[in-house]
Structure formats: structure tokens, C-alpha cells
Amino acid sequence: MNTNASDRAALSRRRFLKAGLVGASAATLAGCALQPAAQQIALPTAQAHDMAEGHAPNAVNPLNEITSGHDSHNSLTVGTVDPDRNGFDPMKVLVDFDTGKVSTLPSGQTLREYSMYAEDKEIEIAPGVFFPAWTYNGRVPGPTLRCTEGDRIRVEFVNGSAHPHSIHFHGIHPVDMDGVTGEQSGDVQPGQKFVYEFDAEPYGILPYHCHVAPIKRHIHKGLYGMLVVDPKEGRPPAREFAMVMNAFDTNFDGGNEVYAVNTVAFEHVRRPIPVKQGELVRIYLANFVEFDLINTFHLHANIFNYYDHGTTLEPSLWRVDNIIQAQGSRGIVEFRPRHVGKPMFHAHVSEFTELGWMGHFNVVKPEDFQAAMRDVGMNDAWDFASLNSNTSVRATA
């Protein structure tokens, strides 16, 4: 019987799931990153990928020889990803808002200066699963830049990659700062640099990404991130997190095998995100999944308000528990957890959930918050960053 392309893609993903994202039945494999059969299969190298001209529609999945069925509804990875080896920790990425080097121009306008570089780097996206990424500042997603509406933004970009790259910022700015091919700011060659400079507007979440062709390749390989622009009026104080929904095509067949928020599959199942019962939680959420048309964010046991693009001070959706984002879409999620416990959050595209895009908050009473942070390796600096990164001097009480 002939198998069509969509069936092959589905089989490929499900075999990957069984190979590397294994359930409770594999608990006896403690200390192993993947099942032994999967460990013997080498994923394509960065060099091999760089030689390819795009994605072959019928490429062979290197995990196809694994024939175990897909019978687990609670699949998780076995083992851990070492953040020191990766050079970034998803728990810290949540609160690592880069507000730049701040000074004042003669006009009185605030100037914020940022340093960014492109680097080719292998990263671990699930225990034992490595991906030849193209990165901004050595991490995927790139740094979460932050400023206030009207600030002058100056980003010095150095291309340390073996390929031409750029930074295309969403938002309002001069065309010659747009970071696209044909403009002065586009196609920054290896070893060269460019300085992007513009006033930050409008307020909201302004994604950025490489805009060098083929764009889908440069985005999928990891060149994306967020610029969070605070409104001058400020937003109510909250515990704030940055989440970028992303995914990885590990065999370069034009379909993703691993899904996550902030890159590492199931990281926040293993390390639930601490929050206090009753406090306002704000999530800056963006979707950069390539190859799939939509992604979703679903929160269990709670209801949230949603601010589409983050460009309004009043919610665009009230009292919902699920929203949809296409690639490049973004918005702000706000909620107050009412009950102590570990509510789940995940994509309501079930396959994405089973392939890594799932996590938990750890809602605790205030007196238990320090212990909840220690359980996931965080400390007072993480707590402070999550509460005090708003750049507006008029943040509302």
C-alpha cells in the first residue's frame, strides 16, 4: 500500500516520539538519554545540513528504523539537558530581559544600546538529541530585549556565523533599518557588522528574526527572539516571563520532531515554574514554529486575559483558556492562579504536546516560594528579575 507524504510525516514524528520521548514504562532506563536503539542513530551534522539546498520533501527520517508503536499518552524525556553545556538555561531565559546599556541623548531621549552576534552552534534540545543551530548570542531563542516606547534603540550586530545573516525587527522604523535583502541593513556577511538604530514603537511585543533567504531555513535554525516595548503608562506590577514557542526538524525533511517553549522539550515538566498563589502572572508569548501553520497556548485550571500583539492596555480576549498563534504572532497572557498545585500548560495541538511542548506552573503559598525556587535550581536573583524588569518609570501600582 502506498503511503502519502502526510502519512509518512506522521509516522516519522511518532517513531521519533517513541525513540526519544519515552514514557513511564522506560523508567528503568535511568541514566540513559534515549533508548539504546535511538542512541546508535546519528542525527545529521551541521555540515551536512549546510550543504543541502533546502528540504527534500521525501527525505528519509534517520529514526524510521525504530518500529515501536505510539501507545503512550504521557510521554516524557529520560535524562536531562545540561544548561551549562548548552550555554543557556530555559528557566533563566524566562526572566532574562536585556534592558541594554542606558544613557541619555542630548535631546533628553533615553538611549538603550545592545550587543548581538550570530554564531553557528550545536545545541541539545532533548536529552541526547542535538541540533546544528544558528543562534543570536549563543542561545535559542535569542535574547529578550526590553525598553520603553519612544526609547532610541541601538543594536550592534556582529556576524560570527559562516553564513550571511541579519536582524529584521517588527514595528515602525526607517526602511534602511529593516534588515532585509536589498537594504543596507540586510545580508550582513560573515565577519562583518551592522548597527541598527531606531525609536521603539509601538509598545507591545515586537519579534525579530533573520530575513536572509531562504527565510524559513534561517528562522527554523534558531535566529529569532523578542523585543518587549513597555508602554509609557506602564502595566500593573506582575511576575513576568518570556516564552517563545519553537520546534526543530532534526532530520531536515520539512517536518518538526521536537517542540518546546524556549527550546528544551518538557523542561518545565521536569522543572515547574514557581509562582505565588493569587499574584498576577504575565507571559510575553510568541510563536516561531516553522513548517506548522498554527500553534496554541492552553492553560489548565485557570482562565486568562489575552492582549493580542501586546499593543493594547485592555485585553483583546477576556476570560479564555486557549489562544491560537500563527508564526510571528505574539501576545500577552495574564492570570492570577487561584489554587495551589501544578497546573499544566501546553499546545492544544496534541501532537506538539506529546513531542515536548508541555510544562507546569508550581503554584505555592507565599511562605513556600523559596523552597519551590530551590527545587528548580533558582534563587532570589531569579525572583527579582521576574518582578523588576519593567522599564517604564511609570509602571502602575
Spans of the chain, pLDDT less than 50: 1-11, 14, 18-20, 22-74, 396-397
User: For residue 236, what are the contacts with CB-CB under 8 A and spacing of at least 6?
Assistant: 280, 395, 396, 397
Given this model, what pLDDT does residue 15 score? 54
Range 215-236 burial, b when 16+ CB lie within 10 A, else e: bebbbbbbbbbbbbbbbeebbe
User: For residue 191, what are the contacts with CB-CB under 8 A and spacing of at least 6?
Assistant: 159, 160
User: For residue 79, what are the contacts with CB-CB under 8 A and spacing of at least 6?
Assistant: 31, 32, 33, 34, 127, 128
- Determine the Cα–Cα distance for residues 323 and 334; give it in Å rounded to an integer: 12
On the CB side of 156, CA atoms within 13 Å amount to: 6
- State phi, psi for 86 to the nearest 5 degrees: -70, -30
| String of DSSP letters for 311-375 | --SS-SEEEESEEEEETT-EEEEEE---SSB--EEE-SSHHHHHTT-EEEEEEE-GGGHHHHHHH
Give the cell for residue 78. 529520560
Given this model, what pLDDT does residue 186 score? 84
Give the cell for residue 100. 541594554
Quick: pLDDT tens for 147-199: 999 999 999 999 999 999 999 999 999 999 999 988 777 899 999 999 999 99
Given this model, what pLDDT does residue 76 score? 76
Which domains, and CATH codes, for the chain?
5-83 (no CATH), 91-230 (2.60.40.420), 239-387 (2.60.40.420)
Q: C-alpha distances in angstroms, 94 versus 147, 152, 245, 275?
A: 17, 25, 12, 13
- Determine the Cα–Cα distance for residues 9 and 249; give it in Å rounded to an integer: 11
